[in-house]
Structure formats: C-alpha cells, structure tokens
A and B are shown apart, each in its own frame.
Chain A
Amino acid sequence: MAALEPGAAGPEQRIRFYQVGSHVVGNRLLHPEQRTVQARMDRSNTLTCGHRACRGCGEALGARYVLDAAMRAAEGKVIAANATGCLEVFSTPFPESSWQLPWIHSLFANAPAVASGVAAALRAKGREDVRVVGQGGDGGTVDIGFGCLSGMFERNDDVLFVCYDNEAYMNTGVQRSGATPPAARTANTKPVGASSGNPFGQGKDMPRIAMAHRIPYVATATIADPHDLERKVEAAMAMRGARYLHVFVTCPLGWGSEPRDTIKVARLAKETGLFPVFEAVDGEVVGVSRIRRRTPVEDYLRIQRRFAHLFGDPPRTDLIERIQQIADRNIAEFALLDGEGEPW
C-alpha cells in the first residue's frame, strides 16, 4: 500500500466485529496491507527486547512503532541520533544495547545537530538512500535542544526528528520542563503551600513552532493510535528535508498512572482535546484526527496522580475549568469536533 498523502483518508473497508470495552479494531480483521508494521513478522525490532524501561512505558512503545515504521520505509537503512534521556538510558545499559540499527548518543542538547551531521556525511558520500532519524524527549527537544532543532529546521536538513513527549524531565526524577502542562505535579512543582503544581503559563507549542519554520512536514500523534502514528512516519519518510513528529507518550511513573492505563491515558489526552492530533505540510495544517467521543478533561486528569491535588477536599474546580478551557480552545482552533464527533 502506497504511503498516504498527509491528510488524505484511507480506503474504506467494512469490518464486522464484536468486541466490548474497547474502540480498537484488531489487526487480524484488517487486510494484510493495512495492518501495522508491528503486526508483521518481518518487522525490524529496531528497539528490541531487554531494555530497562518501566512497566507500561509509553516512550518505549512509541519508539518501537516509530523506528520499525521508519526502517520499513527506508528498507532497513536508517541511522538514529538520540538525545540523553529516558530512551537513551534504558536502551543502552552498558555493555548491552537494545538497538538493532546504527545509533549514536552524543549529548543532551545536540541530537538535532548530530543528526544533521550524519545527514551531511551521507550526502557528501552519495549515500542518500540511508535515512536519518533524530530523537529525544521533551526536555531535549523543547528546552535544551531547542536551538539546535531550530537550526536544523531552518537549514531544512534531511532529518526526521521525533520528540517523545512525556511532559517532564523523567530520567532525572520528574522535574518540570517547558512541555509540562499547567497544574501538573513534578518534583519541583509540588502542590505545597500556595502552589497548585506547574503554573498556568502559555505553554510551548512545539508543533506550531515547527510549523512556523515552514518545514515540509509536521505531525502530532499518540501511542493510542498506532496506525495513525505509523502512517505519519511513513508519510514523513516519503519526504525529504526537515520533518518533525511530536508523539504524546504516557509515563506511568512520572504521571502516577497505572501501567495498564498507558494507552487509555494517551487516548483520553486526544479525546478531551488537550492533545490535538494533526498533520501539517509546509507550515499549514492539512488534516486532523477528529475526536470520536468528546470527553471532559476530568476523566483524563483523575487517573493520574500528578493531578490528584485537583480532586482534594475541596476540589479545585476552578483549575479543572481552566484546563477545560485549554481543551476547548484546541477543539475550536483545530476543528477537532466538526463532522463525525458526537456532541456531549
């Protein structure tokens, strides 16, 4: 199946199924060509088993999906540059490594630049059949890696950069980053004294900052919709130039959610409107993943202990309302409900 044009709808397929408690359509019910890369026996297992990630780690899941899809698209010829962070640490406990592709970890702040360097070397050697993926967490992308990322975007270097956003500096013990949402508890934004967790700021909308650079492709995705995530990787790999993928990944340890809820939390982030899922080409949004069943933010916040202080005695309905307004604004700006979504 050819990679879909970004924003295009896939071919229609009628499926009969009987299933309760989930919205997920199992892979076996789909045409083989429409199954995920992960469902195939010949997947690369780029991030193979044996790594030291926590139970229910959303980032490990996301990285596995992203890289296997990238490897498939590039016929196994991918080089990865990884920032310091959870992914790097749990995947390479010396003397072991989970990576089954050429992989380099340099520093915290320079993964985009290192990736640019690899791409430059490949170009000088006439080996542009080999593709480059840069990756890091929200800290290494949105904060300390921001300068290098912007430089890579501006030069339009041929790199797909993936940010696995778990909304804090998890590897170092859950400290607040520029991606930490308002009211969230982190190690340095504890709800003690007059504080109610992370302040309500204006956020740092990394996907839109990427779009402002007018790079060929920007997309957001979550680990709750692996088909969508893989499709976006394929779409990105079909292009050249600077491409950016921002993946919402649940962190059970840092967020205080149950490991079994990892996918559910990610789905709720999308269904509440707190995490808009969309793609953009050359700086313009070309498609959104609509909300299927609109959900109040409370459902999302309740199952994460980092927001537990909002549900104390008395509950902070004022703050929950402010978070709801953020979701509402996203829904309006991205038209996340138009068409198929059910009103609530």
Chain B
Amino acid sequence: MLRQLEGSAAVAETVALCRPEVVCAYPISPQTHIVEGLADLVAEGRLQPCEYMMVESEFAAMSVCIGASAAGARAYTATASQGLLYMTEALYNASGLGLPIVMTVANRAIGAPINIWNDHSDAMSQRDSGWIQLYAETNQEAVDLHAQAFKIAERLSLPVMVCMDGFVLTHAYERIDLPSAAAVDAFLPPFEPRQVLDPADPMTIGAMVGPEAFAEVRYLAHAKQMQALDVIPEVAGEFERAFGRPSGGLVRGYRLDDAETVVVALGSVLGTIEDAIDAMREEGVRIGALAIKSFRPFPLEEVRGALAGARRVVVLEKAMAVGIGGIVSTDIRMALSGRQVNGYTVIAGLGGRPITGASLRRLFAEAVEDRLEPLSFLDMDWDRVRAELARMAEGGRSGPHAENILREVGVVAGRSH
C-alpha cells in the first residue's frame, strides 16, 4: 500500500512483517525511530510473538541476538556508528558462528570527532567482519532489502546488515509502497535453522579451534559469501516476481550503455548523482553511473562487466581509508585489474556534509576532462586545513584540532546549507 511516511517508520513496519521473534533495542542516533517504532508494534500486539529486549549496550544487543538466533529464533537489531564499533567483537562472532541475524545500520560517521551525521565510515569499518552488506538507495529499497535480507541470511546461514544513510534516509519522508503481511509471509517462510540449541538434540556451538582446523573453518565464511553472489540476485529476482518492482541485487547501472565516464557510488547519493548525469547527458556528455548494492560480497565480475566500456571511473566514497585514500576504490580497482582505465577517488559527504548537485556537476565536468587528481576531496575547505597544520607546525600546545577548526567555523550555524 502506498504511504507517505518516514523511512525509519517504514523499516520498522516491514521488519515487523518479517516476524522477528527477538528484537534487541539500544538507542543511537539516527536509528532511534526504528527501534521505537518496533516497540510500539510489539506493545500494540501487532508484532507477536516477539520478545522486545531493551539491552544495556550495543555489545549486549548483538550478544542477545546471538543467543536468540542460536536457539532458533529470528533475531533483529539496529545500530549505527559508535554502536556498530562497540559490538565489533560480537559481529565477528555472529558471522563466524553462521547465525542469520539481520541488522539495520543507519550509516553514520565515526568519531573522534563525534559526529552524528551520515557517512559510510561505520559499515565500511566492518567490511571484513563476515557480514553481508547491502546498501539501499531509497527508502523504498531499504524496506525491500529488509525482507530480502532475512531470506538471504537464512538461506546461507550468514548475518546480513542493511545499510541506509542516517538522517538522509532514516529521517526522510517519502512515498513508499509498504508490502502487505500476506505478501511478506508468502515471500519469507518461517526460520528453519541449520544449527540450534535444542535439548532434544544437544550440540556444542562455539568450540575452540586450533591451527589444525581454523583455516578450513574460516574459509567456509568466505565460501558462503561467494555463494551469496548467487543467492543475492536469486532473492532479488524472487522479490521482483512477488512484489512487482526491482530492488536489491548486486549492482545497478544507470545510462551505462555508451558511457565513457562512469561514476560509482553506494547508497542515497546515487539519486543526486543521477540528476547530475541527466543534466550532463543533455549537454552531450557520455556519462553514466554504477550503483553498488552488495558491498560484501563484492561483485567483482558484475562490476568488471558493467565498467567494460568505461574509459574513466570516478568512485565517489562517503568514507576514507586514513593513510591511503579510498575504500571502495580498492575493490573497484581489483575488479578492473588488467584494464587500462583512468581511476579517480573522490571522498565526499564525510560527517554529513551535503553533496550538492552543483558540486557534482563541477566534479564530473573536471572528471571527463581528466583534470582530477587520483585522490580528491569534494568541497573541502583547504584554508582551514592549512591553518590548522600551520598551528601544529608551530609546536607547543597547539590545542585540539576539532575545537580549533570549530572556532573558525563559528559557534552558531550562520548559514542555511
């Protein structure tokens, strides 16, 4: 049914329709509306049977999910940023144990400095945790991906995180077609665990594994993610047949057919990118975009195929590998190994800095003329950076970076952005 509502609310309703039996809630901006929505649904009796656990930390949230999932219950939680980091140990544990937990990550920057706004640092920091990572471009897709996520997770016995841009998607009101309970039930069968803690058939889960067997056990995690490269499109196809609209999958191309320049990105920024691409196409520029939907597993073949005709690739990233540059770029480069392509990494939108259509059009104009550095930062205030570096170079007690720069920015937000 078509409704105009907040992304978080839509996700909460859809997750509820997926019939989780245990939901763990620990609040962190900007995921709060999701867990609050689920609390209401449980309290109103619209989501049952479901145990809604208000835990004392994100580490506890993931741990409770681990116990619940191991006992055969469909388990769900949501977090962002610092919370995702706090549960890092448990993330690796969940994927290592092969538990099909689903989690929403409302993508947010990681401190220090503390910042509650959107970028991809959080999920990117956990790209090796063994979790499948799916990125939603719109709130419609966020809704759709949650239903798909449970199915993918349970088919593979691997946990899945659905990434949606914090505030940009979670707090945006837009038109969403919410699936019906019957449709979700038809799409998503009850959870049948591969392993379960059951007194009728006792088993030991979580044994210590030494050098003689660890490599093989660990490889299985990789093997399952390789299987996911097939399962993800399979489930996306099942979803499209059931609900009549495409969503999810591994990658999505936009105006790629004769594109000489391709912009690669993840998440909601693709909407703004597509508007900019359309504007440039009107001026005759052969430019297109590639959306990465599944970041883990990384679809090397699909990316290579999609970028087959490109002469230059601009990877726009909302996170940064400090000390080297891009994160997604590295994976893209691997997909293109052996190919002669001009590659550009652009770090943009860190800490919620808006990515504007105007900035993108300027950026793309430079890109198509190969006037970009291999690594560049969109809309960076280089004067402030230089000033702070100069302060540091003076030696002595130059003070904390964040406070120094904020002083230059001004305490009150003097501009509407």
Contacts of A109 in B (CB 8 A): 59, 89
Interface centre among B201, B206, B213 (most CB of A within 10 A): B206
Q: Are B51 and A123 in contact (CB under 8 A)?
A: yes
Contacts of A104 in B (CB 8 A): 66-67, 70, 197, 204-206
Q: Are B56 and A154 in contact (CB under 8 A)?
A: yes
Q: Are B90 and A94 in contact (CB under 8 A)?
A: no
B54 part of interface (Cβ distance < 8 Å):
yes
B414 part of interface (Cβ distance < 8 Å):
no
Distance in angstroms from B358 CB to nearest chain A CB is: 47
Q: Are A79 and B89 in contact (CB under 8 A)?
A: no
Q: Are A102 and B60 in contact (CB under 8 A)?
A: no
Q: Are A105 and B205 in contact (CB under 8 A)?
A: yes
B229 part of interface (Cβ distance < 8 Å):
no
Contacts of A105 in B (CB 8 A): 205-207
A76 part of interface (Cβ distance < 8 Å):
yes
Distance in angstroms from A261 CB to nearest chain B CB is: 29
Q: In the complex, which residue of chain A has the Cβ closest to the Cβ of B206?
A: A105
Interface size on B, residues (CB 8 A): 44
B82 part of interface (Cβ distance < 8 Å):
no
| Stretch among B71-79, B301-309, B386-394 lining the A interface | B71-79
A101 part of interface (Cβ distance < 8 Å):
yes
Contacts of B53 in A (CB 8 A): 116-117, 120, 155
Q: Are A151 and B206 in contact (CB under 8 A)?
A: no
Q: In the complex, which residue of chain A has the Cβ closest to the Cβ of B73?
A: A121
Docked Cα-Cα span, A114 to B93, in Å, equals 12
Docked Cα-Cα span, A160 to B204, in Å, equals 19
Q: Are B66 and A94 in contact (CB under 8 A)?
A: no
In chain A, positions 85-138 with a C-beta closer than 8 Å to chain B are: 88-89, 92-95, 97, 99-107, 109-110, 113-126, 130
Contact of A106 among B49, B67, B208 (CB under 8 A): B67
Q: Are B197 and A102 in contact (CB under 8 A)?
A: yes
Docked Cα-Cα span, A102 to B207, in Å, equals 12
Q: Are A117 and B56 in contact (CB under 8 A)?
A: no
Q: Are B51 and A121 in contact (CB under 8 A)?
A: yes
Distance in angstroms from A143 CB to nearest chain B CB is: 14
Contact of A107 among B63, B73, B208 (CB under 8 A): B63
Q: Are A121 and B63 in contact (CB under 8 A)?
A: no
Known: A79-B199, A125-B21. A110 touches B63 (CB 8 A): yes
Q: Are A147 and B56 in contact (CB under 8 A)?
A: yes
A-B contact count (CB 8 A): 160
Contact of B207 among A78, A94, A123 (CB under 8 A): A94
Contacts of A94 in B (CB 8 A): 207-210, 213
A77 part of interface (Cβ distance < 8 Å):
yes
B223 part of interface (Cβ distance < 8 Å):
no
Docked Cα-Cα span, A155 to B25, in Å, equals 13
Name the prevailing secondary structure of the A interface residues. mixed
Docked Cα-Cα span, A79 to B57, in Å, equals 24
Docked Cα-Cα span, A79 to B85, in Å, equals 29
Distance in angstroms from B404 CB to nearest chain A CB is: 35
Q: In the complex, which residue of chain A has the Cβ closest to the Cβ of B87?
A: A110
Q: Are B97 and A106 in contact (CB under 8 A)?
A: yes
Docked Cα-Cα span, A106 to B94, in Å, equals 8
Contacts of A99 in B (CB 8 A): 202, 204
Contacts of A289 in B (CB 8 A): none
Q: Are A110 and B199 in contact (CB under 8 A)?
A: no
Contacts of A81 in B (CB 8 A): 67
Q: In the complex, which residue of chain B has the Cβ closest to the Cβ of A126?
A: B49
Contacts of B49 in A (CB 8 A): 124-126
A295 part of interface (Cβ distance < 8 Å):
no
Contacts of A114 in B (CB 8 A): 63-64, 66-67, 70
A303 part of interface (Cβ distance < 8 Å):
no
Contacts of B256 in A (CB 8 A): none
Contact of B199 among A78, A97, A126 (CB under 8 A): A78
Q: Are B208 and A93 in contact (CB under 8 A)?
A: yes
* Chain B 189-205 per-residue mask, 1 if CB under 8 angstroms from chain A, else 0: 00000001111011111
Docked Cα-Cα span, A103 to B64, in Å, equals 15
Contact of A116 among B64, B90, B207 (CB under 8 A): B64
Distance in angstroms from A95 CB to nearest chain B CB is: 7
Contacts of B66 in A (CB 8 A): 104, 106, 110, 114, 117
B68 part of interface (Cβ distance < 8 Å):
yes
Contact of B63 among A117, A123, A125 (CB under 8 A): A117
Q: Are A113 and B63 in contact (CB under 8 A)?
A: yes
Distance in angstroms from A90 CB to nearest chain B CB is: 10
A150 part of interface (Cβ distance < 8 Å):
yes
Contacts of B145 in A (CB 8 A): none
A148 part of interface (Cβ distance < 8 Å):
yes
Contacts of B24 in A (CB 8 A): 117
B50 part of interface (Cβ distance < 8 Å):
yes
Docked Cα-Cα span, A155 to B204, in Å, equals 27
Known: A118-B197, A147-B56. 17 other contacts (CB 8 A): A92-B207, A94-B213, A95-B207, A97-B207, A102-B202, A104-B70, A106-B90, A107-B89, A120-B64, A121-B21, A121-B22, A121-B69, A122-B71, A124-B21, A125-B49, A154-B56, A155-B54
Closest 7 CB pairs of A and B: A117-B67, A151-B56, A105-B206, A121-B73, A113-B63, A110-B63, A114-B67
CB<8 Å pairs between A and B, sample of 20: A92-B204, A101-B199, A101-B202, A102-B199, A103-B202, A104-B66, A110-B90, A113-B59, A117-B63, A117-B64, A117-B69, A120-B51, A124-B21, A124-B22, A124-B68, A124-B73, A125-B21, A130-B199, A151-B57, A151-B60
